[in-house]
Structure 1
Amino acid sequence: MAAAFASPQVCINETLTDDELRAILSRLESDKDKEVFGLVCKKWLHLQSTERKKLSARAGPHMLSRMAARFTRVLELDLSQSLSRSFYPGVTDSDLSVIAEGFKCLKVLNLHYCKAITDRGLASIGDGLPLLQSLDVSYCRKLTDKGLSTLAEGCHDLRTLHLAGCRFVTDGLLLTLSKNCKNLEELGLQGCTNISDTGLADLVNGCRSIRFLDISKCSNVGDVGISKVAEACASSLRTLKLLDCYKVGDESMFSLAQFCKNLETLIIGGCRNVSDESLKSLAVACKSSLKNLRMDWCCNISDSSLSCILTQCKNLEALDIGCCEEVTDAAFRDLRNGENDFGLKILKVSSCPKITVSGIGMLLNQCNSLEYLDVRSCPNVTKAGCDEAGLMFPEYCKVNFTGRLTEPDTVLL
């Protein structure tokens, strides 16, 4: 009798629509829960697969084809390799052809260290993925302007492009980017030694919204190119990396001071023609914005510019003045006149022979937030000397006197 009144069984897949099931899936916070969702039944697995936005995988046309058929709405694909964990042959042009045909929604593609790919494979990406916004082909050493230009001509919404170590890239590519990728915001050209001032001038003639530019070790870039960038991208530029650009000097710094008031990160390590006056001008201009400054091996700077930086740039978090041999304790003296604690978290003063325990003590009196201090090869700053002077370092501060401590993740590295 009781069985006659039993409620009929209800199938959730007949009651809830696909959109309602997707809404449930979107509310799951952890990746593990989302994977379990797909184990319920084939329908739920299909919904879970089509909602997947990010993938990280190894190469192989067959595997990539299967992934493309299953994960139809993927926006980000990571096929990057590392120098220490690479495998042969890795990603090939055939893989890129599959990606171009199968992942039509793709916006972010990481091919870092995929050394086998050539211009032919990159051309297929340019032809097949017009929605692409971010590409990293750093250390893909076979690429040239030909393949990268085809990419730029096909991907007009490109926002981020990293080409570190692509030694065959020339000014010609920068001209193509200028004409086709007006929304470009982030460009990494580290080690692209064929880039010159002419190329940078062409680039910013069309790309005037660049926020991040890395031209470290581009030995043919000088003041003319940097000044063009500073003027054209005045309102957008936040990060500029010029490591070992030995032709860059005071003219570039004055231009940055004049136009780029919102600069947050500046790396000029190895730019030995930069001197005190231009850095003081920059410190005053960017006193509210500057957070990270690397100027190791800038041998012409002295206490006057460093003191100005420390007193003016109250939001400075990371500073590297390694091998600036003329800097002394006097650079820290004016910190005692500050009304508030200085927020510096990372300080590198390695190989600064004129800095002593006294100077470090002046810094610590005004800086309670220090997390990492590098004093290697500073003969007048030793652990014994600091202990004898009774210096009190912040609780979580790592001090590198002689060894190799794990450094915090910072743009200065």
Structure 2
Amino acid sequence: MGDLSKNGVTSIMHLPDDCLTIIFHALDNRIDRESFGLTCRRWLHIQDFNRRSLQFECSFTILNPSSLSTKSLDVHTVHLHRLLRRFQHLESLSLCGCRELNDSGLTRLLSYGSNLQKLNLDCCLKVTDYGLSLVASGCPSLTTISLYRCLNITDKGLETLATACQSLKYVNLSYCSHISDNGLKAIAQRCCQLQAVNISHCESINGVGFKGCSKSLAHVEAESCKLTPEGVMGIVSGGGIEYLDVSCLSWSPLGDPLHGIGFSSSLKILNFRMCRTVSDTSIAAIAKGCPLLKEWNLALCHEVRISGWQAVGLYCQNLKRLHVNRCRNLNDNGLQALRDGCRSLSILYLNGCVRVTPFALELFKSHRANVCIKEEEVMCIKPYYSPFR
């Protein structure tokens, strides 16, 4: 640099790595960052050193139509080992859809996973409990893990994960058919910072594994689960639930298990879509016990009758969005109860309610002109911050 200064010659190529790193971080355009490493090997090394996330084209989370082929990208052990050796400071890694990846492919996480905070293993069908133990040992800083359709993961793997990764906040276990409440219990009790869990379509879970969970648990998705009354009480036992999805609730020989949701005083969004057996008793308990409720999906809840609708109208004074599509027992009197109550209501999703007459609907519109009535049916309601979008 001294000789260059004497000759009056300067070049960005002679800047130290620290300065080039600052320049790299100042690039706010993804294309510019990718082009940075094409300059020379040294700049490529700086780009690799500063890379914090890695996501494969086979990942279902990439909205690229060309990647949605029936054939997945064959990411094998050797590929992942090379990439982890190249990008040694990753904080986020998505292997979603890498169906050929097996346990041995995760061994490099023992050396290069210490900074990893987010890991997506969705549909990694060959990953077993042993692979999850490698993740647990190599990634102590993990806060988010998604195991959607990891069919070879069992309670044993979850217990190992919960013991080693106690900073976990977001855990997706949906469609993991071999886990039960025992594995869920390990996650719920050992991970004291837990904020969100997805157990949708986990047929062996009834919810009791949530018992004793931290108050930080605010988001639970349990679509198509076989919840019991004790399981529902387990879900709400921490006292912090704000979002709950129990849509498509499986029939229970014990009857309607949803009464206990009425103890969720912090609840803001509740999805009951296709809970065909939910009773007026549960509806009334929830309407009374959840004063902060802002959105409630009751579409296809056929057993909600006049006393249930009256409870919603009387007690749900903070409710802004209500879904009543295809509710077989919503009639003119029930619609009147909603019209005369629910003073904060701004959107009513209503169609296919065969017992509601056109006259009652027009009367609702004239009395509540500020409420927008939409005929569309929303299949899924989630908060804007949802970790499982």
Q: TM-score, normalised by structure 2?
A: 0.78
Matching residue of 1:194? 178
Could you report, residue by residue, the CA deviation over 1:234-293 in whole angstroms, capped at 9, with x for unpaired residues? 3221112222221x2111223344x321111122221444866x645432x322x21221
Q: CA deviation at 1:110?
A: 1.5
C-alpha contact 1:343 1:369 (8 A) present in aligned 2:
yes
Query: Mapping of 1:266-281 within 5 angstroms?
Result: 266-269=244-247, 270-273=249-252, 279-281=258-260
- Say which of 109, 116, 119 aligns to 2:103: 119
Matching residue of 1:239? 219
| Letter of the 1:215 counterpart | I
Between the aligned partners of 2:190 and 2:317, the Cα distance in structure 1 is 43
- Say which of 202, 217, 228 aligns to 1:249: 228
Matching residue of 1:378? 353
Q: CA deviation at 1:194?
A: 0.7
Between the aligned partners of 1:315 and 1:176, the Cα distance in structure 2 is 37
Q: CA deviation at 1:23?
A: 6.0
Structure 2 residue 238 is matched with structure 1 residue 260: yes
Between the aligned partners of 2:353 and 2:269, the Cα distance in structure 1 is 22
Q: CA deviation at 1:322?
A: 2.9
User: Which one is further off, 350-359 or 150-159?
Assistant: 350-359
Q: CA deviation at 1:26?
A: 5.8
Structure 2 residue 205 is matched with structure 1 residue 221: yes
Matching residue of 1:35? 32
Distance 1:99-1:305 versus aligned 2 partners, 3 A rule? same
Q: CA deviation at 1:176?
A: 1.2
Matching residue of 1:64? none
SS in 1 for 2:232: helix
Between the aligned partners of 1:27 and 1:126, the Cα distance in structure 2 is 31
Matching residue of 2:303? 326
SS in 1 for 2:211: helix
Matching residue of 1:305? 282
Query: Mapping of 1:59-208 within 5 angstroms?
Result: 70-79=47-56, 80-82=58-60, 85-87=67-69, 88-93=71-76, 94-208=78-192
Q: CA deviation at 1:20?
A: 6.8
SS in 1 for 2:234: helix
Matching residue of 1:348? 323
SS in 1 for 2:375: strand
Between the aligned partners of 1:116 and 1:296, the Cα distance in structure 2 is 36
| Letter of the 1:92 counterpart | V
| Letter of the 1:291 counterpart | K
Between the aligned partners of 1:10 and 1:398, the Cα distance in structure 2 is 69
User: What residue ranges of structure 2 are gaps of 5+ in the alignment?
Assistant: 1-7
SS in 2 for 1:72: helix
Between the aligned partners of 2:13 and 2:105, the Cα distance in structure 1 is 45
SS in 2 for 1:219: coil
Distance 1:90-1:303 versus aligned 2 partners, 3 A rule? same
| Letter of the 1:260 counterpart | G
C-alpha contact 1:136 1:162 (8 A) present in aligned 2:
yes
SS in 2 for 1:35: helix
Distance 1:10-1:303 versus aligned 2 partners, 3 A rule? farther
C-alpha contact 2:300 2:327 (8 A) present in aligned 1:
yes
| Letter of the 1:328 counterpart | R
C-alpha contact 1:99 1:125 (8 A) present in aligned 2:
no
C-alpha contact 2:144 2:169 (8 A) present in aligned 1:
yes
| Letter of the 2:269 counterpart | N
Between the aligned partners of 1:405 and 1:240, the Cα distance in structure 2 is 19
Between the aligned partners of 2:34 and 2:192, the Cα distance in structure 1 is 45
Q: CA deviation at 1:218?
A: 1.2
Distance 1:381-1:124 versus aligned 2 partners, 3 A rule? farther
Distance 1:380-1:132 versus aligned 2 partners, 3 A rule? same
- Say which of 206, 223, 230 aligns to 2:211: 230
Q: CA deviation at 1:131?
A: 1.7
Instruction: Please report the RMSD computed on the Cα atoms of aligned residues, expressed in angstroms.
Output: 3.9
Matching residue of 1:59? none
| Letter of the 1:249 counterpart | T
| Letter of the 1:370 counterpart | S
Between the aligned partners of 2:34 and 2:53, the Cα distance in structure 1 is 21
User: Which one is further off, 359-368 or 310-319?
Assistant: 359-368
Matching residue of 1:286? 264
Q: CA deviation at 1:160?
A: 1.0
Q: CA deviation at 1:153?
A: 1.7
Between the aligned partners of 2:364 and 2:169, the Cα distance in structure 1 is 49
User: What residue ranges of structure 1 are gaps of 5+ in the alignment?
Assistant: 1-8, 50-66
User: Which one is further off, 172-181 or 292-301?
Assistant: 292-301
Between the aligned partners of 1:216 and 1:405, the Cα distance in structure 2 is 18
| Letter of the 2:142 counterpart | L
Between the aligned partners of 1:308 and 1:318, the Cα distance in structure 2 is 16
Between the aligned partners of 1:123 and 1:195, the Cα distance in structure 2 is 23
Q: TM-score, normalised by structure 1?
A: 0.74
C-alpha contact 2:17 2:46 (8 A) present in aligned 1:
no
| Percent of residue pairs bearing the same amino acid type | 23
Q: CA deviation at 1:367?
A: 4.7
